[in-house]
């Protein structure tokens, strides 16, 4: 009899949880923010190739896919996250920005890894468009927030938030806050080794996802 009671209680609990998650899901959905994450390069364009052979296109895609996976596990997630590519394919830069505009995204993140002829160069660099679009200030603010979080939590060296005339930034800054993240240098042995470990990429993804939930630049 006791077992039956436990079973009954569990069924009631499960039904309640299912109903609750459905209700919360619907309430949250109305206010969901849309995020576009753009894993740089792809296909024949490997991007930077690491001192240990790893490729930028794979590092950034793995991080982006892990962000999607982790977001689906969040019980009350309020972010709709899309990628500009889900596979090892090359998408043109203008198609990446067109897709983001069509989705009416709230935020655009382009993911990259750096490379330098100087093997000692290291650290994270965040880029914002150098053209003064409608979301220029939002982009700078968001760039600083993300940079600070990565530097604090992962211990990457900070190279600051910089301005550049990158196409994906130039074509988006008038529509939504956009930043391009250069995670670290694949030409640096320490950083290339770091990005070769799957567990580190997962940690990176989790940190970025948590930051996406905290960002104050949505409005």
Residues that bind Zn ion (CB under 5 A): 40, 47, 112
145's tokens? 């927030």
Give 41 or 217: the residue with its C-beta nearer to Zn ion.
41
Least Cβ distance, residue 131 to Zn ion (angstroms): 20
In DSSP terms, which residues pair with 79 in a beta bridge?
Answer: 33
Reduced to 3 states (helix: H, G, I; strand: E, B; else coil), residue 196 is coil
Least Cβ distance, residue 39 to Zn ion (angstroms): 10
Least Cβ distance, residue 195 to Zn ion (angstroms): 13
Give 79 or 192: the residue with its C-beta nearer to Zn ion.
192
Give 141 or 179: the residue with its C-beta nearer to Zn ion.
179
Q: How many angstroms separate the CA atoms of 169 and 130, rounded?
A: 8
Burial of 80 by CB count in 10 Å (0-12 exposed, 13-18 middle, 19+ buried)?
A: middle
Q: How many angstroms separate the CA atoms of 74 and 107, rounded?
A: 19
Residues contacting residue 196 through CB under 8 Å, at least 6 positions apart: 50, 52, 54
Give 100 or 114: the residue with its C-beta nearer to Zn ion.
114
Least Cβ distance, residue 135 to Zn ion (angstroms): 22
Least Cβ distance, residue 56 to Zn ion (angstroms): 5
Give 34 or 51: the residue with its C-beta nearer to Zn ion.
51
**C-beta nearest to Zn ion: residue:** 112
Q: How many angstroms separate the CA atoms of 13 and 11, rounded?
A: 5
Q: Based on C-alpha coordinates, what's the Rg of the chain?
A: 20
């Amino acid at each position: 009899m006791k077992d039956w009671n436990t079973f009954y209680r569990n069924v009631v609990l499960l039904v309640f949880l299912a109903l609750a998650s459905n209700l919360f899901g619907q309430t949250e959905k109305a206010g969901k923010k849309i995020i576009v994450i753009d894993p740089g390069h792809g296909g024949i364009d490997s991007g930077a190739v690491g001192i240990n052979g790893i490729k930028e296109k794979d590092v950034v895609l793995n991080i982006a896919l892990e962000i999607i996976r982790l977001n689906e596990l969040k019980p009350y997630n309020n972010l709709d996250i899309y990628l500009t590519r889900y596979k090892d394919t090359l998408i043109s830069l203008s198609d990446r920005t067109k897709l983001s505009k069509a989705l009416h995204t709230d935020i655009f993140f382009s993911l990259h890894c750096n490379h330098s002829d100087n093997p000692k160069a290291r650290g994270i660099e965040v880029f914002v468009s150098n053209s003064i679009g409608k979301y220029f200030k939002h982009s700078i603010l968001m760039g600083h927030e993300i940079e600070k979080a990565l530097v604090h939590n992962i211990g990457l060296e900070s190279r600051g938030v910089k301005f550049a005339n990158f196409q994906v930034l130039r074509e988006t800054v008038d529509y939504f806050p956009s930043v391009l993240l250069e995670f670290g240098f694949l030409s640096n042995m320490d950083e290339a080794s770091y990005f070769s470990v799957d567990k580190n990429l997962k940690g990176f993804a989790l940190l970025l996802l948590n930051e996406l939930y905290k960002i104050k630049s949505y409005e």
